[in-house]
Amino acid sequence: MIEFLFSQYSDYETIDIVLEITAILFGLASVLFAKNNNILVFPTGIISTIIFVYLLNKWGLVGDMLINGYYTTMSIYGWYIWTRKTENKPEFPISQMEVKEYYQGFAIFIFTMLFVVIVYKYFDKFTSWTAYVDTFTTGVFFVGMWLMAKRKIENWLLWIIGDIVSVPLYFHKGYTFTSIQYAIFTIIAIYGYLEWKKNLE
């Protein structure tokens, strides 16, 4: 079983394995901080995503690299948004999406997928079914990160969908550690949604 799960790492450089595990640990810490509505979600997330940008670029996974590059940018934006206060209260407390935000989220989803399709076409990456799934998950995660920065509870629903899809996707790609990370992310995202719902009520 161990060989089946981790045999693909036999050809990897030790430094890359260490970096992947480090990025995963910071990623898990980030999601746990998000669950608790703690601003440390962003600095820990930035460390994780920057490492993944480096690794994914090295592995030639353009779509995944774009996702993590976007995460880094949105984490900086979210960090700024979460520090803003009005009368010593968060300017953007936990809330539900408004109607206009559903339209905005859908627009971001469509634009993101179109952008990924253009990039994949340019780099000739549509050589496997995984590229099509990547296009979908990239759109889902882009909207999820945008909603996270705005403290909208619906962000968790998108994380859950994207995480569930990513578990078998990354395992198929040969990144078992990252696949396990997304499995854990799914569980934390469910608890995160319940925690934020309780806070909202």
Question: What is the pLDDT of the chain when averaged over all its residues?
Answer: 90
Whole-number pLDDT of residue 2:
61
The pLDDT tens digits for 80-96 are 999 988 777 888 899 99
Please indicate, yes or no, whether the overall pTM of this predicted structure exceeds 0.85.
Answer: yes
Q: Which of 141, 73, 90 is nearest to 112 (CA)?
A: 141
Average pLDDT over residues 11-28: 90
Q: Tell me the per-residue pLDDT of 173-183, one tens digit each, with 9 for 90 and over.
A: 888 888 999 99
Give per-residue pLDDT as tens, 106-155: 999 999 999 989 988 888 888 889 889 989 999 999 999 999 999 999 99
